[in-house]
Amino acid sequence: MTTSTKSSGVEDLNRTLGLVRRVEMDPAGRAVLEYEAGLHMCHSGGVVQGGFITGWIDAAMAHAAIAMAGNDIVPMSLELKVSFFAPARPGRVIAEAWVERKGKRTCFFEGRLLDPAGTVLAKASSTIMLAQRDRVESAARAAT
């Protein structure tokens, strides 16, 4: 996989998820991302589909892991649990995430999704394995 292919894939993912900006990437293991929820992400009643909500918080947790461990790792979700508290509607949303406990290769992260007024729309927890980027990319090349 070439660098331009990787960048294009990440850019496509960010566009699909509606990423507006990375607000914070703290080496202590914290990240804050802003997304724009569009009508195309909604099901009945103008409510954002849960997969987008899950993706936003999951991406924030991955960014927190990368901020903490560096660009040489790929955060691999081993487990992900999401609880939904209130409907997300079209417009701006904020995904926050932080490391709860750090191990050598396995870490526990938490995150939440907020509306601009600060209302918690969803919370999540994840067990993430910190995999070496070169090994993940080698395995991907070998599989194709």
Structure tokens at 106: 């396995």
Model-level pTM? 0.91
Q: CATH number, domain at 52?
A: 3.10.129.10
**pLDDT tens digits, residue range 46-55?**
999 999 999 9
Q: How far apart are CA 5 and CA 138, in angstroms?
A: 15
**pLDDT tens digits, residue range 57-78?**
999 999 999 999 999 999 999 9
Structure tokens at 78: 């081993």
Report the domain count for the chain: 1
Q: How far apart are CA 21 and CA 28, in angstroms?
A: 20
| Per-residue pLDDT, 18 | 94
User: Residue 108 belongs to what domain range?
Assistant: 3-143
Structure tokens at 1: 């996989």
Binning pLDDT at 50, 70 and 90, where does residue 7 land? low
Please, is 24 exposed, middle or buried when counting C-beta atoms within 10 Å of its C-beta (0-12, 13-18, 19+)?
A: middle
**Cross-strand pairs, 24:** 32
